[in-house]
Structure 1
Amino acid sequence: MATIAVHPDFAYVIYVVLASWLWVGYLTLCVVLARKKYNVPYPTMYSDKCLEFNCIQRAHLNTLEVYPQFLVLLLLGGLHLPKLSAVFGVIYLINRIIFAFGYYTFNPANRRYGAFGFLALVGLAVNTAMFAVNISGSV
Structure 2
Amino acid sequence: MTTITIDPAYGWVILAAASTFFLNSYHSINTGNYRKIAKCPYPAAYAPAERTDEDAHRFNCAQRAHANFIENQPSAVAALLLAGLQFPISSALMGAGWTVSRYMYMVGYSQGGEGGKGGIYFWVFQAGLAALATYNGVAMILGW
* Aligned-residue RMSD, C-alpha: 1.9
1:82 aligns with 2:88: yes
Q: After superposition, what is the alpha-carbon deviation per residue over 1:70-128, rounded to whole angstroms, capped at 9, x for unaligned?
A: 0110001111211111111111111111111111322x111111111101111101100
For the pair 1:110 / 2:115, whether they are aligned, the reply is: yes
Identity %: 28
Gaps of 5+ in 2: none
Q: How far apart, in 2, do the equivalents of 1:116 and 1:130 lie?
A: 21
Cα offset for 1:4? 4.4
Residues 20-79 of structure 1, C-alpha deviations (whole Å, 9 max, x = no match)? 111111001122233333222222111122112111111211111101100110001111
What TM-score do you get using the length of structure 2 for normalisation?
A: 0.86
Q: Which residue of 2 aligns with 1:10?
A: 10
Residue type at the aligned position of 1:84: S
CA distance in structure 2 between the partners assigned to 1:40 and 1:3 by the alignment: 53
> Matches of 2:143 and 2:131 in 1, distance apart?
15
CA gap of 1:3–1:137, structure 2 versus 1, over 3 A, is: closer
The 1-side partners of 2:114 and 2:143 are apart by 44
Q: Which amino acid aligns with 1:100?
A: M
TM-score, normalised relative to structure 1: 0.89
Q: Where does residue 120 of structure 1 map in the other structure?
A: 125
Alpha-carbon distance in structure 2 between the residues aligned to 1:12 and 1:135: 23
Correspondence for 1:66 among 62, 72, 91: 72
> Take 1:43 and 1:76, find their aligned partners in 2: how far apart are those partners?
37
Select which of 52, 59, 68 maps to 1:53.
Answer: 59
Task: Note if contact 2:59-2:110 (Cα within 8 Å) is conserved in structure 1.
Answer: no
Give the equivalent residue in structure 1 for 2:137: 132
- 1:3 Cα deviation from its structure 2 partner: 7.5
Q: Relative to structure 1, is the Cα distance of residues 3 and 138 closer, same or farther in structure 2, using a 3 angstrom cutoff? A: closer
Segment drifting more, 39-48 vs 118-127: 39-48
Cα distance in structure 1, aligned partners of 2:89 and 2:111:
33
| Structure 1 runs, 4 residues or longer, greater than 4 Å off | none
- Show structure 1 runs of 5+ residues with no match: none
